[in-house]
Each structure stands twice: as C-alpha cells, then as structure tokens.
Amino acid sequence: MNGKIYAIGGTRHVAVDALPTAEEYDPATDTWTRKADMPTPRLHLTSAVVDGKIYVFGGSPEWAVPLAATEAYDPATDTWAKLADMPTPRTGIWAAALSGKIYVVGGIAWENEALATVEEYDPATDSWRPMADMPTPRFLLAVEAVGDAVYAIGGATSDYTTLPALEAFTP
C-alpha cells in the first residue's frame, strides 16, 4: 500500500507463539519500520486493503485454534481498530478485496476440518454476509480477485492433502 509492504502477525516457532507485530518495509529505501502492534496476536491470519486501511481476519494464537477476530490498521495514524468478528472462527484462511468488499475464504475450524466457507465483509458498514460455499473445502489456500471474480487456488484438505484445484466465485 502506497509503495510499502506490511508484515503483520506470524510466529517465532512453527505453529505456536503468535506475534502481534506489525512492520512496514519501504523498498525505495530498503528499510523496515516497526509499527503499532496488532491488538490480537495471531498466526495464519489473512489481510486485504480497502480505502487505505489494512483489514486483518481470523488466524490463531497457535495452530489450530481458530479466531473470529477482525481488526483494521490505519497507516496514516499508526492505529488499530477492533471491528465486527467474523461469523465463522477460522485459521489458515485467505482474503481478497473486490469492489470495496472483502471476501474471506476457506480455512480450518476447531476439529481440523477444512472449510468451504466464504463470507463477505463490508468495511463501510462493519458487517458480514454469508456467501455461497466453495465447491472444495480447503485451508492454507491463495485467493485473488481479478476482474469481477474471486479465485481460490490450491490449499490443503482436512487430511493435509495438497490441492491443485482452481475455482472462481463471482459475488
């Protein structure tokens, strides 16, 4: 965003010890700057940018304890805001912004069950809306918006089998 890259959350050790850390990387000067910590430390979260703010969703304090937390970071003021929780707590998710809305896709629930869940977040109203499920439940996937569609790419099934699947969703 604005020519900068933000690294938010993560872990010091595989699957445990979630971090609240937010850092900004400036490729023009090859420098890192520590920013205000995220209110909810977590790993395997996802994020998307709408109207100059970075929205972060879900994740877990350790694998696989799903969170419903939604927070927004404003780089202009270096502040975080707590927002409406996701309807479905999950970790190992991915999000993409399309036409001012954010689509949070897939993930894993309490029983290590891969989800086909798709939920739409509207930053203008701080509200959630369920969408049609993906055909293939998965977590640790990639999701990108291109044109008028959101694409779910790869990921893993509940038994950790990797998926070559590519599916498109048009809101």
Query: What per-residue confidence (pLDDT) applies to 16?
Result: 73
Query: What per-residue confidence (pLDDT) applies to 84?
Result: 98
What would the pLDDT profile of 113-165 be if each residue is shown by its tens digit?
999 999 999 999 999 999 999 999 999 999 999 999 999 999 999 888 999 99
Average pLDDT, the chain: 94
CATH of the domain at 65: 2.120.10.80
Structural domains in the chain (count): 1
Q: Among residues 63, 55, 36, 123, which one has the least CA distance to residue 95?
A: 55
Query: What per-residue confidence (pLDDT) applies to 85?
Result: 98
Paired strand residues for 143: 152
Lowest mean pLDDT among 32-46, 55-69, 124-138: 55-69
CA distance 1 to 51: 10
Biggest CA–CA distance in the chain, Å, is: 45
CA distance 149 to 49: 17
Amino acid identity, position 53: K
86, pLDDT greater than 80: yes
Write the DSSP string, 112-137.
Answer: S-B---EEEEETTTTEEEE-PPPSS-
Q: pLDDT band for position 79 (50/70/90)?
A: very high
CA distance 136 to 155: 10
Question: In the chain, which ranges are E strands?
Answer: 5-8, 11-13, 16-18, 22-26, 31-35, 46-50, 53-57, 70-74, 79-82, 94-98, 101-105, 118-122, 127-130, 142-146, 149-153, 166-169
Tokens at 91, concatenated: 């970790």
Query: What per-residue confidence (pLDDT) applies to 82?
Result: 98
Domain that holds residue 163: 5-169
Q: pLDDT band for position 107 (50/70/90)?
A: very high
Query: What per-residue confidence (pLDDT) applies to 21?
Result: 96
CA distance 32 to 30: 7
